[in-house]
Amino acid sequence: MAKKSSSEERRSAAREQARQIAEAQAKREKTVKVTVYSAIAVVVVGVLVVVGVLVFQSSRPGLAPKNLASGAIAYASSGDGVMAVAPEGDAEEIEASGLPDVSESEAAEGAPRVKVYLDFQCPGCAAFEETNAQTLSRLAAEGTIIAEYEPVSILDRFSGGNEYSTRSANMVTCLADSGQTDVLPEVFSALFAAQPEEGSGGMEDDELLSIAEEAGADLSAPVSEETAAEIGDGGSATVEDCVTGVAFKKYVTDEAQTALNDEGLEGTPYITIDGEPYTGNWSDAQAFGADLLRAAGQIS
């Protein structure tokens, strides 16, 4: 009987040891699961926070400049030249831009709005500028038309990775925001004259700034108070700060997307007359000028 009792005791002890080992293993597995699930939960929460921030940032309107509305600026007769006026667009944006209404200009009643969408990386836009800039400027100064310009950024992929289309359009926006609307036509011409070849590296900031300065821009001029409050150190910022910081990147890209989605833009240069696509031959300066006079009702 003693041997049998001892054998039973050993079996009972073995069973108890096995039970304790299984219980310890179950506890370890539960602890591991809790740790893993907690870590996953932390990662998921973190991802959701990041996604939420990105969605919020992408849904926020970009910093809006003064003296541009819907990405565009217009020029009409001042009596002895041209003055910047509000382009056609959203009334709220135009009011916020600070631009005067065309009724404050000397443009003829019913003068057609000739709008040019351009990309500073676009060779066709450079050709359009060389062929027709003087005609547009002259007819606007005479009060025959209202000339509108909207720089867009759709050719960044052709600038060697440095987003030249966006950065050059941003520089123009910075100049407008600082109130230098009078110098923009000269800056446009200078940018097209120095246009980098497609596929090559676009100009760096110092080159862009040098071109603007040589065209008459004041790089030390302050940007608007609203812009300075966003980008300035202590609430002050200059055109140069605005350019190097690409302050209006979101604004420029958002307006380009709007033009692509809602305004018929498929490529540049894209010209409209009173909102209708121009289908004539802009590469012939004489023919293009005649079409503008025809739209203004000056010839039949």
Task: Respond yes or no on whether the N-terminal peptide bond of residue 65 is cis (omega within 30° of 0).
Answer: no
Report the amino acid identity of residue 78.
S
Task: Report the 10 Å Cβ neighbour count for 293.
Answer: 17
- The mean predicted confidence, pLDDT, of the chain is 87
* Confidence tier at 28 by pLDDT (50, 70, 90): confident
pLDDT of residue 35: 58
* Confidence tier at 44 by pLDDT (50, 70, 90): very low
Q: What are 105-155's pLDDT values in tens digits?
A: 999 999 999 999 999 999 999 999 999 999 999 999 999 999 999 999 999
Q: What is the pTM (predicted TM-score) of this model? A: 0.79
Copy the structure tokens of residue 28. Answer: 């370890």
Q: SS3 for 148?
A: strand
pLDDT of residue 8 exceeding 90 = no
Look at the block and give the residue holding tokens 């109130």. 179
Q: What are 226-250's pLDDT values in tens digits?
A: 999 998 777 789 999 999 999 999 9
pLDDT of residue 148: 98
* Confidence tier at 50 by pLDDT (50, 70, 90): very low
pLDDT of residue 48: 36
pLDDT of residue 75 exceeding 90 = yes
Q: Please classify residue 44 by burial: count the beta carbons closer than 10 Å to its beta carbon, then call 0-12 exposed, 13-18 middle and 19+ buried.
A: exposed
Per-residue DSSP letters for 16-28? HHHHHHHHHHHHH
Q: How far apart are CA 132 and CA 279, in angstroms?
A: 15
pLDDT of residue 199: 81
Report, as an integer, the average pLDDT of 90-101.
90
Q: What are 168-179's pLDDT values in tens digits?
A: 999 999 999 999
